[in-house]
Amino acid sequence: MYKILKKKELAKNIILMDVEAPRVAKRCLPGQFLIVRTDEDAERIPLTICDYDAAKGTVTLVFQVIGAATKIMGDLNEGDSFHDVVGPLGTPSDLATDPIDEVKKKSIVFIAGGVGTAPVYPQVKYLHERGVNVDVIIGAKNKELVILEEEFKAVSGNLYITTDDGSYGRNGMVTKCLEDLVTEGKKYDHCVAIGPMIMMKFVCKLTEKLGIPTIVSLNPIMVDGTGMCGACRVSVGGETKFACVDGPEFDGHKVNFDEAMRRQTLYKSREGRAMLALEGTLEGGGKCGQ
């Protein structure tokens, strides 16, 4: 069993948990993910690692409550335990495995959107601890949904917050912020973008135009996390890849985002029915059937 040592609501329906998992924590690298289960019959949920502490033996998870499985996770409290925490899985970020002297030569910008802000953090922290300062753009719909701001202030060279409604930081989407920074004189030769699929798609369209190589994380389309279910199958440079075993990070300029987003929609109706069943409002099994 894997005890929850800390639980914190970062924003509405966005929850952070520190979980006791010493063997996992000793082997983590930025970019990798874990699979958790709340009990022996529960759904397997892949979650990109937000942070880890090998000395304390803990891993940090951040997730958004959007369906039945994550609702059950969100109802757990400090002192409760996960039945399973498996990992680390997936390939680490190139920035965590390339020679650090080569990484230091790059001018790097990270672009984080929504809950995708969480998996950006360990990469930025990892680089900061090795003397590499990077720029970070965090995008959210509004001020209330900006997460991990103070944590990023401590590890990034420059932090830019942008909100769709202009309620905090710069006004507009992350693509506008990046374009404005380049117009203002910033020069980048490497970009990492993690967030909703549609955000990553348009970031890649912009960075391709700007000539900035870009890495994206396709963790949003993972389901099983082992490559067996095929849910995260995606075309990258005309080749078939699986986000969970070949990634989750890929060259964003080679990813077929339209195909990946179509694949995402295949599971919405099933997840919706699972949520209704959990709430007791599914026809024939609750309020709607009364």
Sketch out the chain's domains with CATH numbers: 2-89 (2.40.30.10), 94-259 (3.40.50.80)
CA of 45: how far to CAs of 72, 97, 229, in Å? 11, 26, 13
Q: What is the pLDDT of residue 45?
A: 87
How confident is the model over 204-244, as pLDDT tens digits? Answer: 999 999 999 999 998 777 666 566 666 777 888 998 888 77
Q: What is the pTM of this model?
A: 0.85
Spatial neighbors of 133 by CB under 8 A, at least 6 apart, are 127, 156, 157
Mean pLDDT (the chain) is 87
Q: What strands, in cross-sheet order, belong to the sheet with 33-37?
A: 45-48, 33-37, 84-89
**Angle formed at CA 88 by CA 242 and CA 156, multiple of 5 degrees:** 95
Q: What is the pLDDT of residue 226?
A: 60
